Amino acid sequence: MADSIRTFCRLCEAGCGLTATVEHGRLTRLRADRDHPVTKGFACGKGLRAVEVHDDPDRVRRPQRRVGDTFVSVTWDEAFADIAERLEAVIARHGPRSVGLYLGNPNAFNALGGAMGVSFTAALGSDRLFSATTQDCANKYTVAELLYGTMKAHPIPDLERTDFLLWIGSNVRVSKSSFLSVANPLQALRRVRQRGGRVVFVDPLQIEPDVGETLQLRPDSDPYLLAAMLHEIHRTVGFRPGVFEGRIDGLDEVAAFVTPYSPEAVADVVGLPAGTIAALARDFAAAERASIHASTGLNMGRQGALAYWLVQMLLLATGNLDQPGGNYFATGGLAKPRASADRTAASFEQSTWGPFRRTVGMLPGALLSDLVEDSAEPLRALVVLAGNPVLSMGGGEQLADAMRSLDLLVSIDLYRNATGELAHYVLPATDQFEREDLNTFVQGVQGVPFVQWTPRVVEPDAEQRQEWQIFGGLLEAMGRRPPLPLDTADPMALLDGALAPSGVSIAALRQAGGILPLAEPGPGGSLERLGVEGVLNLVPDALRPALERGHALFRELDGEPADGFKLITRRTKNTINSWLQNLPSAVADDGEPNPLWMNPRDGDRLGVAPGDRVRISNDYGAIEAGIRFDPRLRVGVVAMTHGFGNASTSGMTRARDRPGVNVNALAPHGPGTFDPVGGMSHVTGIPVDVRPLARAT
């Protein structure tokens, strides 16, 4: 007997509806949900292949304990008792703050998991939290908090009405983007074009030429392109905030900040002709309805907070915020908690490595290995929840060594991944099909808002447990009270409070078959609906260091040699960060798991051809890879995919057989490398040296 169960994909923010076929209690097939009112039968190959992860013989199905260089299966009770004892010992010796938690990306798609991890850490008395957020989007949370007073305020482009869409740092076809949840976003961009609207991509890689032109800027220069646009707009038509007139304070300071950045002044740093920048600015200002979407390409530069703030300033200064066809704050199904934001200089923490500001409670990930090695108040135990910092963060072997040196490293995961390989314990988590869930993360950034609940599609086939049960079990073993007692009958009901203002409840969702649409009043008053009232201070004190640093880094970029290479990321259609690496599809079948991509003109300059091997190095590390050409890349820019580098990952046997290299061995980390305001690591536009090795035969 086959059952069809409605569920949704939790790999990326598109959140595609899926139909799962279950036969004799086993998940046998996934299909796109054609009857889904919003995602309407859209799904990609990765999402449909999640069934291969679910069934992967390499999945961790029982708790594992390290014994020497190998791992043995133990019972949950044994694991809990031993981990509890080790945690108590670490706390007794070094204090509660010696215990930390790292939250990986899949927590975004797990309604209870991450929250329970944070509660666990708090219950132990620690505030040492790290997450993929500071590799990804911390700058956006920071700007939302500083500018709008709530971390949840992220104005999305009104794709169905805009005349002019600036699409910055997002390879929409491959990744489906971030902080904008639209089923089939490439199709949505095509519709803008078909309607007669204009789409301009800002990216070192040419993006979708059939949809719009790409301004192929130099990586890590977005703040200056945006500043120059504001400069030109101010010089020509002036700032016209429209409905925000009288509701913003500090526009003159914005003008003062952009004064030095005329299109001519930034042209070399940005790598675009001054005339092109000026025309872009004037066209943007002249468009009836203009909008912007900026994603990780902008976030991951050294100044993600400054760049994202300038995006907001462009929208405000041209009267495109909260306007039809501009950007607006989309409705979400979950109440936005509004802790009063500290926007003063006092919101920075002082440390041995200089001041920094936490974002969503997270410490800068770039300091992870320093905190382990710090003698004053070192991190001695780390729980990694659905993450793989050893491959996803800068540091390479140094970070791996720091992880190895911990008194206790616990990984809660589907696989014994590269981080789990170094752990004392690997604890098996249920996957997306083995737990009930809700699409919490995308609330407030959906083009068409809806709340979706999914039942557990199948029971775990062995000893996998949900994260809330794992943290609860650990706390009980330590004689402490879990925030969610282990006998809780309906843990999902915990979300009812946050859902209530939207008139939604878990019970109503269950009854409705999973999906409840939300009314979307759209632009016009959308900021007020978030609870944001009064005058917006455009230049809060906590942001000022980002402006000052912006001036300093401009001088640094301006002084750089013009012929050096800059390394960026290239996501591929078959991988999600590091975690689909064990599937046969993760590696292109041409013998090179993770090549270095470059423009053929750079190949000529270096005297290398496709297949030749090169050494890529900088102050942080050196790796080797085979060359592939891509004429769509800007000259001087090279690209690799992150998440490879499993040569020693014994728990992912197929990934280990074709490991590729870990590009994050070249990523800056440590003091001075991260954005003190936005918390982001420096992930894109990394200076590297590329040298030919042996010639391919």
Ligand X SMILES: Nc1nc2c(c(=O)[nH]1)N[C@H]1C(S)=C(S)[C@@H](COP(=O)(O)OP(=O)(O)OC[C@H]3O[C@@H](n4cnc5c(=O)[nH]c(N)nc54)[C@H](O)[C@@H]3O)O[C@H]1N2
Q: Which residues of the shown chain bind ligand X in the complex (CB under 6 A)? A: 12, 104-106, 110, 132, 135-136, 168-171, 174-178, 202-205, 217, 219-220, 222, 295-298, 301, 385-389, 392, 412-415, 417, 429, 431-432, 467, 568-569, 571, 573, 575-579, 642-643, 663-664, 667, 683-685
Smallest distance from the beta carbon of 577 to Mo ion, in angstroms? 7
Give the range of 128-136, 245-253, 381-389, 397-405 binding Mo ion by CB under 5 A.
Answer: 128-136
The item of Mo ion, ligand X, ligand SF4, none sharing an interface with residue 16, based on CB under 5 to 8 Å by kind, is ligand SF4
- What Rg do the C-alpha atoms of the chain give, in angstroms? 24
The item of Mo ion, ligand X, ligand SF4, none sharing an interface with residue 412, based on CB under 5 to 8 Å by kind, is ligand X
For the residues of 122-151, what is the DSSP string, one character each? HHHT--EEEEGGGGTTHHHHHHIIIIISST
| Residues 332, 334, 335: CA angle, nearest 5 degrees | 105
The letter for the amino acid at 683 is V
Nearer to ligand X, 42 or 244 (CB): 42
- Helix %, strand %, coil % for the chain, to 5? 35, 20, 45
Smallest distance from the beta carbon of 248 to ligand SF4, in angstroms? 36
Nearer to Mo ion, 144 or 230 (CB): 144
Give the range of 133-141, 233-241, 257-265, 635-643 binding Mo ion by CB under 5 A.
Answer: 133-141
Whose CB is nearest to ligand SF4? 47
Nearer to ligand SF4, 228 or 451 (CB): 451
Question: What are the structure tokens assigned to 673, written together?
Answer: 């490398």
Smallest distance from the beta carbon of 525 to ligand X, in angstroms? 29
The item of ligand X, Mo ion, ligand SF4, none sharing an interface with residue 9, based on CB under 5 to 8 Å by kind, is ligand SF4
Smallest distance from the beta carbon of 684 to ligand X, in angstroms? 4
The item of ligand X, Mo ion, ligand SF4, none sharing an interface with residue 214, based on CB under 5 to 8 Å by kind, is none
Counted residue by residue, the chain has a size of: 697
What three-state secondary structure class fits 565? strand
Nearer to ligand X, 244 or 565 (CB): 565
Nearer to ligand X, 91 or 215 (CB): 215
The item of ligand X, Mo ion, ligand SF4, none sharing an interface with residue 297, based on CB under 5 to 8 Å by kind, is ligand X
Write the Ramachandran bin of 188: left for phi over 0, alpha for psi from -120 to 50, otherwise beta. Answer: alpha
Q: Using CB under 5 A as the criterion, what x/- string covers residues 346-375 for binding Mo ion?
A: ------------------------------
Question: What are the structure tokens assigned to 471, written together?
Answer: 């943290």
Cα 311 from Cα 321, distance rounded (Å): 11
Report long-range pairs for 264-270 (Cβ below 8 Å, ≥24 apart): 265/228, 266/221, 266/224, 266/225, 266/227, 266/228, 266/554, 268/558, 268/562, 269/218, 269/221, 269/224, 269/554, 269/557, 269/558, 270/217, 270/218, 270/221, 270/224, 270/225, 270/228
The item of Mo ion, ligand X, ligand SF4, none sharing an interface with residue 429, based on CB under 5 to 8 Å by kind, is ligand X
Nearer to ligand SF4, 178 or 312 (CB): 178
Question: What are the structure tokens assigned to 576, written together?
Answer: 């999600």
Cα 476 from Cα 422, distance rounded (Å): 26
Cα 71 from Cα 413, distance rounded (Å): 15
The single residue listed with the structure tokens 């300071």 is 253
Measured CA to CA in angstroms, residue 261 lies from 200, 219, 355, 622 at distances of 21, 17, 27, 35
Smallest distance from the beta carbon of 447 to ligand X, in angstroms? 15
Nearer to ligand SF4, 220 or 431 (CB): 431
Smallest distance from the beta carbon of 13 to ligand SF4, in angstroms? 7
The item of ligand X, Mo ion, ligand SF4, none sharing an interface with residue 158, based on CB under 5 to 8 Å by kind, is none
Sheet holding 290-294, edge to edge: 213-215, 198-202, 164-168, 290-294
Smallest distance from the beta carbon of 10 to ligand X, in angstroms? 7
Smallest distance from the beta carbon of 30 to ligand SF4, in angstroms? 9
List contacts with ligand SF4 (CB under 6 A): 9, 11-12, 14-16, 43-44, 46-47, 176
- The rounded Cα 419 to chain-centroid distance in angstroms is 19
Nearer to ligand X, 12 or 382 (CB): 12
The item of Mo ion, ligand X, ligand SF4, none sharing an interface with residue 675, based on CB under 5 to 8 Å by kind, is none
294 DSSP β-pair partners: 168
Q: Do the bridges between strand 70-73 and strand 613-618 make them parallel or antiparallel, or are there none, so unpaired?
A: unpaired
Nearer to ligand X, 370 or 431 (CB): 431
Question: What are the structure tokens assigned to 54, written together?
Answer: 């679910």
Whose CB is nearest to ligand X? 297
CB 506 within 8 A of CB 499: yes
The item of ligand X, Mo ion, ligand SF4, none sharing an interface with residue 499, based on CB under 5 to 8 Å by kind, is none
Q: Which of 51, 72, 50 is nearest to 60 (CA)?
A: 72
The item of Mo ion, ligand X, ligand SF4, none sharing an interface with residue 395, based on CB under 5 to 8 Å by kind, is none
The item of Mo ion, ligand SF4, ligand X, none sharing an interface with residue 47, based on CB under 5 to 8 Å by kind, is ligand SF4
Measured CA to CA in angstroms, residue 645 lies from 388, 576, 650, 664 at distances of 11, 14, 12, 9
The item of ligand SF4, Mo ion, ligand X, none sharing an interface with residue 153, based on CB under 5 to 8 Å by kind, is none
Write the Ramachandran bin of 357: left for phi over 0, alpha for psi from -120 to 50, otherwise beta. Answer: beta
Angle, in degrees to the nearest 10, between helices 274-286 and 222-236 = 60
The item of Mo ion, ligand SF4, ligand X, none sharing an interface with residue 150, based on CB under 5 to 8 Å by kind, is none
Cα 323 from Cα 519, distance rounded (Å): 18
Smallest distance from the beta carbon of 448 to ligand SF4, in angstroms? 15
Smallest distance from the beta carbon of 433 to ligand SF4, in angstroms? 13
The item of ligand X, Mo ion, ligand SF4, none sharing an interface with residue 14, based on CB under 5 to 8 Å by kind, is ligand SF4
CB 505 within 8 A of CB 499: yes
Cα 661 from Cα 665, distance rounded (Å): 9
Residues in the interface with Mo ion (CB under 5 A) total 1
Nearer to ligand X, 217 or 438 (CB): 217
Smallest distance from the beta carbon of 136 to Mo ion, in angstroms? 4
| Residues 152, 412, 405: CA angle, nearest 5 degrees | 105
Smallest distance from the beta carbon of 188 to ligand SF4, in angstroms? 13
The item of Mo ion, ligand X, ligand SF4, none sharing an interface with residue 685, based on CB under 5 to 8 Å by kind, is ligand X
Nearer to ligand SF4, 106 or 626 (CB): 106
13 DSSP β-pair partners: none
Told to check if 136 binds Mo ion by CB under 5 A, we report yes
| Residues 598, 604, 606: CA angle, nearest 5 degrees | 80
Smallest distance from the beta carbon of 130 to ligand X, in angstroms? 9
Smallest distance from the beta carbon of 371 to Mo ion, in angstroms? 22
Smallest distance from the beta carbon of 70 to ligand X, in angstroms? 20
For binding to Mo ion (CB under 5 A), which residues are involved?
A: 136
